[in-house]
Amino acid sequence: MSSDNLNVFSIPVGVTFASEFNAGSWSVQPALDLTLTGNFGDTDLDADSCWSGTDNGYDDLSYGVSTEFLDDFTYGATLGIAAKTGNFSLGLGVNYTGSSNTDEYGVTANARFVF
């Protein structure tokens, strides 16, 4: 069995828009975050898979495999809102991360009481 090393580095670039305002005794903080990430280096993999002990007239059966395991660019957006009054706070957010091969969606919610 043999293995190889992959070297990848990512450069994220993003911008966040956020604000804070008061509504009665509540402090409300909406935010929007946009991100683009470039992935560089060994984002593709070429390999041979070998099976020992097969009876095909050869010593080993091997099969060439080529795959892109990491997209060259990913992009994302997160939209959220947080609110706080006294020792109690709430938060809600939705996010999206995508690339040429995948889409990922998420929702987060939290409630916190600090004492």
How far from chain centre, in Å, is Cα 28? 27
Q: How many C-beta atoms surround the C-beta of residue 21 within 10 A?
A: 9
Q: How many C-beta atoms surround the C-beta of residue 25 within 10 A?
A: 8
114 phi/psi in degrees, rounded to 5: -105, 125
Mean per-residue pLDDT of the chain: 87
Q: Which residues contact 75 (CB under 8 A, 6 or more apart)?
A: 34, 35, 36, 37, 97, 98, 99
User: For 5-53, how does the pLDDT look when each residue is reduced to its tens digit (9 = 90+)?
Assistant: 778 899 999 999 999 999 999 999 999 999 999 989 887 777 777 666 6
User: For 68-102, how does the pLDDT look when each residue is reduced to its tens digit (9 = 90+)?
Assistant: 778 889 999 999 999 999 999 999 999 999 998 88
